[in-house]
Structure 1
Amino acid sequence: MSDLQTLPCPTCADETTFEQPTCIDGHTEDGGACPEWACTGCGTALVIGGVPVPQREVWHRAA
């Protein structure tokens, strides 16, 4: 666990400390920040910031 931040937790219904777990999804491989944060009180996870949205691929079948 690395960074700490105070955020409103929807489960605790209060401002609580959130920590950023070690990123295992590759968000930090290009030097970016991981968007995942976990409440230190209850474990609720939040995703903060821009998360890439997968684009639909269109495949055409050759006749």
Structure 2
Amino acid sequence: MSERELRCAICDGDMLFEVPPCADGHDECPELVCTRCGMAEVVAPIVVHLWPNHAGRTPRLPHQRRAAA
């Protein structure tokens, strides 16, 4: 198991985290577990989707619905 030091929200300090055995068959599992309290932390990349800007127009964003007043 690989280990690294991260800030644990439960222990309120820098603690040693380790990758638990992965039953899903990932090469590198994104889950880490605090070795002191067992809190799970998921480390995954952030994915941002952008809409293309066609012919200089402002990109259309999804419309947000509002509740009736």
TM-score w.r.t. the length of structure 1 is: 0.66
Q: SS where residue 50 of structure 1 aligns?
A: coil
Amino acid of the residue matched to residue 29 of structure 2? C
User: Runs of 5+ in structure 2 lacking a partner?
Assistant: 47-69
In 1, Cα distance between equivalents of 2:42 and 2:20: 12
Give the alignment of 1:1-63 within 5 angstroms: 2-28=1-27, 33-50=28-45
Aligned residue pairs: how many?
A: 46
TM-score w.r.t. the length of structure 2 is: 0.60
User: Runs of 5+ in structure 1 lacking a partner?
Assistant: 52-63
Q: Which has the higher contact order (CA 8 A, sep 6+)?
A: 1
Q: Give yes or no for contact 1:35–1:50 (8 Å, CA) kept in 2.
A: no
Q: Percent identity?
A: 41
Instruction: Return the offset for 1:26.
Output: 2.5
In 1, Cα distance between equivalents of 2:45 and 2:30: 7
